[in-house]
């Protein structure tokens, strides 16, 4: 039980790393892929989706980095580690889903990393304690 904050922080870190990887792969793809004679990166919807994803990643990086600092210093409490796992895994699911959407039909082809990330992201909300358990742990600390 004493290792749960460590495990949940690692899950949060893994979620953030997956978001960063999916974002970079998506940036590369939308800059190259053309529709209606221009790269899909130039469409307003694509720009807005990428801006939302970049913001989620930037905010997440600050929170997860702080959790790691607190973990190393021996100051990370169970509720905050549970928040890292909850936020990370839920946000990972949404971010990877948005990235897959920008790939269109190719997003479901296993040759593309984003398809594998999409499939792998679902389990993040289960292991290390389900996200429903994370909410219970967090609510008890309020």
**Is residue 16 situated within a structural domain?**
yes
**Is residue 26 situated within a structural domain?**
yes
pLDDT tens, position by position, 12-40? 999 999 999 999 999 999 999 999 999 99
Domain count, the chain: 1
Instruction: State the residue range of the domain holding 61.
Output: 4-133
**Is residue 126 situated within a structural domain?**
yes
**Is residue 28 situated within a structural domain?**
yes
CATH number at residue 77: 1.20.140.10
pLDDT tens, position by position, 56-111? 999 999 999 999 999 999 999 999 999 999 999 999 999 999 999 999 999 999 99
Distance CA 131, CA 125 (A): 6
Residue 7 known to be catalytic: yes
**Is residue 36 situated within a structural domain?**
yes
| pLDDT bucket at 3, cuts 50 / 70 / 90 | confident
**Is residue 141 situated within a structural domain?**
no
Point out the catalytic residue in the list 7, 20, 98, 132. Answer: 7
What are the DSSP calls for the chain, one per residue? -TTHHHHHHHHHHHHHHHHHHHHHHHHHHHHH-EETTEEGGGSHHHHHHHHHHHHHHHHHHHHHHHHHHHHHTT---HHHHHHHHHHHHHHHHHHHHHHHHHHGGGGGSTTSHHHHHHHHHGGGGTTTS-HHHHHHHHHHT-
**Is residue 45 situated within a structural domain?**
yes
**Is residue 140 situated within a structural domain?**
no
């Amino acid at each position: 039980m004493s290792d749960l904050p460590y495990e949940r922080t690692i899950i949060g870190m893994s979620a953030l790393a997956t978001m960063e990887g999916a974002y970079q792969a998506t940036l590369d793809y939308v800059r190259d892929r053309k529709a209606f004679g221009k790269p899909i990166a130039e469409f307003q919807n694509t720009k807005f989706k990428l801006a939302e994803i970049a913001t989620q990643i930037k905010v997440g990086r600050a929170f997860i980095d702080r959790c790691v600092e607190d973990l190393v210093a021996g100051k990370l409490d169970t509720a905050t580690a549970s928040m890292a796992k909850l936020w990370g895994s839920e946000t990972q699911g949404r971010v990877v889903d948005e990235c897959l959407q920008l790939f269109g039909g190719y997003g479901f082809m296993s040759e593309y990393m984003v398809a594998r990330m999409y499939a792998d992201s679902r389990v993040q909300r289960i292991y290390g304690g389900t996200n429903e358990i994370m909410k219970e742990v967090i609510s008890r600390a309020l």
